[in-house]
Amino acid sequence: MAYTEPMLNHERFCNAIRIKTLWPEGASKGEREAPLTAFQEFLATAYPAFHQTAEKWVLSPYSVIYHWKGTAPTGKPVLFLAHYDVVPVEAEKWSVDPFGAEVKDGYVYGRGTLDMKSILIGIMEGAEVLCVEGFQPKEDVWFAFGGDEERTGLLGAQNTAAWFKEKGIRFSWLLDEGTPIGQGLFPGLAAPMALFGIEEKGFLSVDLTVRQQPGHASQPTAVQAAAVLAEALVRLSKKPFPFALTPAIASFFSRLGRLMPGFQGWALRHARALGPVFFKAVAGNATIASLLHTTLAMTQLEGSAADNVMPSAVRGVLNLRLLPPWTVERALTFVKKAVADDRVEVSIHGQGNNPIPANPEHAKLAGPGWIAMEAALTETVPNVPILPFIMVAATDSRYFKDIAGGIFRFNPFILDSKEIALIHGHDERVSLENLNRGVRFYTALLKRL
């Protein structure tokens, strides 16, 4: 039975979890960086055979790069991305020590067990075993691990990508964390299906600000800033971003439709031909709608600090997830047009990311890396259907879009919606079964390169 094979070495994984590579609020630079450096050093001692084989560069506590030279490279190097930082914890809400790596009921508990030390360690376990066996890949294989993905990736992934660009290194394709092998995510479909995140949505927050003369609430002005903002928000809610099928999502629905019986399956298979009829039918389903257009969420409202003081400004914040081809700039113009009121200032809040469209070949279940990914997964989880998908959260891979021919965002774990909800949540845990599955997947994949 493939799924009950013994763990290759789950003690190494537990030790990785025990290193507190989190970003506590208010921590000094030194406090933040010490565990990141400790993690880099842990890898060197835990995986000696790989470290004897591969060349390593430590750019900073936030970036470590490995080069595993190919025996007969054809100029198509492959990159594996991962991050070793984790999000903070509310320890009192956990039933176990979040950094204890306790094993119970077939699960390893701890922050980072899903997101994403399980992936990083899966890659390292695969590489180590293969090095011990004397295996060498044919192509050049690179690993790049980052220490600030959960913040911005500016210190880690961004610098790493710049390092590769400077050296003129381009990748045939890369694999980063992403969407899993989902189980029971779609009504009527209980069997697991692998979701390859070949496309990534962009991110944009927008400030809407209306200013006015501040003063005592006993003498309000005839036209109030809050009402102006409210009207703008109502206009926005009546003008959603248009629905469209990107090639990746069109391919996803058509594959999903083949797995679904009856009318539902037929409608999904014909989503493109049905066009507006299909969009209208699914518009009320938030999950499906999020795959079909740029979403706009009204997340924050701010006015006066006191109940009897007129605010000098009221502010609303919108959070947008951009579907290709909606860039930050285009989306901002769309919002301004929908607001249609010069009294409302529209500006970018923080930093936005443009969406990353899929390699068009990937949408057709082909293109750089597809065959290797498919074969490795089929070997690990026989007969699992593979569907192209879109990643709605940002990953480090976005910094590599100009130097990779194709990007996969994928977790080789079978997860249901309850387990997916544990990512960044309390009592985050990964099953030993999934941990094993990950090691087997990365080993199978590395062997094909």
Which residues of this protein are in contact with Zn ion, per CB under 5 A?
115-116, 177
Q: Which is nearer to Zn ion, 117 or 315 (CB)?
A: 117
Q: Which is nearer to Zn ion, 113 or 431 (CB)?
A: 113
- Which residues have C-beta within 8 Å of that of residue 1, sequence separation ≥ 6? none
DSSP single-letter state for residue 293: S
For 158-183, b where at least 16 C-beta lie within 10 A, e where not — what string?
Answer: bbbbeebeeeeebbbbbbbbbbbbbb
Q: Which is nearer to Zn ion, 177 or 428 (CB)?
A: 177
Q: Which is nearer to Zn ion, 86 or 314 (CB)?
A: 86
Q: Which is nearer to Zn ion, 267 or 393 (CB)?
A: 393
Q: What torsion do the CA atoms of 12, 147, 162, 49 make, to the nearest 10 degrees?
A: -10
Cβ atoms of 257 and 269 closer than 8 Å: yes
Preceding amide of 187 cis, omega within 30: no
| Cα–Cα distance measured from residue 336 to residue 334, given in angstroms and rounded to the nearest whole number | 6
Q: Which is nearer to Zn ion, 116 or 446 (CB)?
A: 116
Shortest distance in whole angstroms from residue 145 CB to Zn ion: 12
Shortest distance in whole angstroms from residue 112 CB to Zn ion: 9
Shortest distance in whole angstroms from residue 442 CB to Zn ion: 16
Q: Which of 89, 64, 80 is nearest to 147 (CA)?
A: 64
Cα angle value 393/127/143 (rounded, 5°): 45
Q: Which is nearer to Zn ion, 156 or 367 (CB)?
A: 156
Q: Which is nearer to Zn ion, 367 or 438 (CB)?
A: 438
Shortest distance in whole angstroms from residue 266 CB to Zn ion: 37
Q: Look at phi and psi of residue 93 and say left if phi exceeds 0, alpha if psi is from -120 to 50, else beta.
A: alpha
Burial class from Cβ neighbours inside 10 Å (0-12, 13-18, 19+) for residue 271 reads buried
Q: Report the residue number whose CB is nearest to Zn ion.
A: 115
Tokens coding 110: 């701890």
Residue 344 identity (one-letter amino acid):
V
Shortest distance in whole angstroms from residue 391 CB to Zn ion: 11
Tokens coding 390: 């879109």
**CA 156 to the chain's CA centroid:** 16
Q: Which is nearer to Zn ion, 82 or 260 (CB)?
A: 82
Shortest distance in whole angstroms from residue 424 CB to Zn ion: 9
Shortest distance in whole angstroms from residue 31 CB to Zn ion: 21
Shortest distance in whole angstroms from residue 48 CB to Zn ion: 27
Angle between helices 262-269 and 247-259 (to 10 degrees): 160
| Cα–Cα distance measured from residue 206 to residue 315, given in angstroms and rounded to the nearest whole number | 10
